[in-house]
Amino acid sequence: MNQPQEPAEPHGPSTPSTLLVIPYFDGDRGLPDRPLTGVFYYCPSIVVSGTPSRFEFTPGQPMDVTVDVVNHGAGTSVAATSVVVWWAEPTTGFATLNWFGQEVVAVPSHGAYVARTRPITGTIPAGAPNHLCLLARATALSSSLPPDTTPDPINEPHWAQFNLMAHTVAPGETGFAFSWLAGNPGGTGARYELRVRPADADALGRLTEVLEARPSAMPDMALTIEEGDGPRLAIELDGGEQRRVHLRGDLTQGLEPGTFTAVEVAQFDVTDDPEGVPVGAIGLLLRPGSD
């Protein structure tokens, strides 16, 4: 992970050679736009192809991933940049990473243009779930890695995630269930709060980029983490620990054919800040089943 000595103008007085960002949106400079807000579980710079859909994969079959990188540094050279992609089971904290692939891409300075890697081809082992998280990191080869390379796809601009899951709700049904791994990506114990909420209209609009369906906002849907804890749950995790967590939900109405709605599942570190620092998130896409 390339950590600039100081942010480039207008964020500081010095001019590092690289200021790499895997952008979540047009004009994303990494700083001061982090931590991200909004749809921080879906980075459109990570593009998947050769699969049933952009968020459903076929374990045991090869697929391609490309990653876009921009360099807002003020140097005069092109940065040779290593881009690594990992996969993981659905998680809100990347405590366990599985290697997918790596590419090197030349990224010009001053944000001249967004550079895209060549397709990174890999195969997720047979037996893995069809829905998985992808995590990417961009590192300038000319810069040494700092000792702390904890995955941080929300706060650190060299990291990004593609963390979308789909769930089918049977015709005439409104109830659904989902489970994921809450994880501690750090080396020491920490306190976390898990929070779930219905996706708002803005988030649903963004998600139509990957799901060709009409969004249906359901702000009053009932959401409960574990048994009877409501839409929030406090947990403690040792360094590197993972815990499976369960969500139950009930839509306010059935989903019509050609529509979808979504739930945002997020994990916040509340060890030193009761408001919480975001660690990771999942976008749960709810689709109607066929009769």
Question: Using one digit for the tens of pLDDT, what is the confidence trace for 214-256?
Answer: 999 999 999 999 877 899 999 999 999 999 999 999 999 999 9
Characterize the bridge pairing of strands 259-269 and 277-288: antiparallel
Give the three-class secondary structure for 224: strand
Say which DSSP state 202 is in.
Answer: H
Residues 50 and 42 sit within 8 Å (Cβ to Cβ): no
Residue 78, pLDDT score:
87
Residues 154 and 278 sit within 8 Å (Cβ to Cβ): yes
**What are the structural domains of the chain?**
20-161 (2.60.40), 166-288 (2.60.40.10)
Characterize the bridge pairing of strands 214-215 and 259-269: parallel
Question: Using one digit for the tens of pLDDT, what is the confidence trace for 124-159?
Answer: 999 898 889 999 999 988 775 555 578 999 999 999
> What value does the mean pLDDT of the chain take?
89
Q: How far apart are CA 97 and CA 37, in angstroms?
A: 24
- Does residue 86 have a pLDDT over 80? yes
Helices (H), the chain: 201-207
Q: How far apart are CA 97 and CA 92, in angstroms?
A: 12
Question: Using one digit for the tens of pLDDT, what is the confidence trace for 252-286?
Answer: 999 999 999 999 999 999 999 999 999 999 999 99
Nearest CA to 198 out of 180, 221, 214, 215 is that of 221
Check: pTM over 0.75? Answer yes or no: yes
Dihedral of the CA atoms 227, 133, 267, 32 (nearest 10)? -160
Residue 205, φ and ψ in degrees, nearest 5: -60, -40
- Does residue 119 have a pLDDT over 90? yes
Q: How far apart are CA 60 and CA 255, in angstroms?
A: 32
Residues 64 and 49 sit within 8 Å (Cβ to Cβ): yes
Q: Is residue 285 classed exposed, middle or buried when 0-12, 13-18 and 19+ CB atoms within 10 A define those classes?
A: buried
Cα–chain-centroid distance for residue 56?
Answer: 15
Characterize the bridge pairing of strands 98-107 and 133-140: unpaired
Cα–chain-centroid distance for residue 161?
Answer: 3
Express as a percent the part of the chain with pLDDT over 70. 92
Residues 152 and 94 sit within 8 Å (Cβ to Cβ): no
Overall average pLDDT of the 160-180 stretch = 93
